[in-house]
Amino acid sequence: MKYILIVALLFSLGSSAQKMSTIEGNGKKLMIADMSSMDRITWGGYEQIGKAAQSETDGAANTRAIVVAVGKNSGYEGQPYAAKVCDSLTLGGYTDWYLPCKDETDIISLNYEKLNLDEKTTIWSSTEANGTQAVTKYFYSNSFYNVQKVDRCTLVCVRKPD
């Protein structure tokens, strides 16, 4: 029963993206899966992932490292978490979505109005700050904050356009 509930939850999370957009900033393009309609979500458990998830420029590699380390999030009753939701997402025929790294959240912040995201939104990045915290981006002040991984923030998934 628990397995069926988790599969159903991941399926419903994957289908909850409101829209897909392509944005540009800092000389880069990103496709965005707006997941802001779903409830805020945790980054993941308190596993310290280390260097494998501390890149400020490679969100895809960070996301893979997070999913490997946190796995089924058994320390937190198997609750879905940001990197896993992005890693499991199928949208627009694409399956290569990931949680954006610190630098990619800058691009999203530059475009939050185009994406119809609230200026008071804080989104997760895939960049781990330390064993208990990950980097978030707060649009209103355009600032980065280290937030407890078990706190809840808004989720946006990204991919590099073809």
Are 62 and 99 in contact by the 8 Å Cβ rule? The answer is yes
Query: Tokens representing 105?
Result: 């959240």
Instruction: Supply the range of the domain harboring residue 23.
Output: 2-159
| Other residues' Cβ atoms within 10 Å of the Cβ of residue 62 | 27
| Tally of structural domains, the chain | 1
Bridge partners (DSSP) listed for residue 28: 25
CATH of the domain at 32: 3.10.100
Task: Walk along the chain (162 residues) and give the pLDDT tens digit of each residue.
Answer: 333 333 334 444 444 546 899 999 989 999 999 898 889 999 988 888 999 999 999 999 999 999 999 998 888 888 999 999 999 999 999 999 999 999 999 999 999 999 999 999 999 999 999 999 999 999 999 999 999 999 999 999 999 998
Q: Which amino acid is at 137?
A: K
Q: What is the pLDDT of residue 18?
A: 60
Q: Comparing C-alpha atoms, which of 126, 85, 84 is closest to residue 104? A: 126
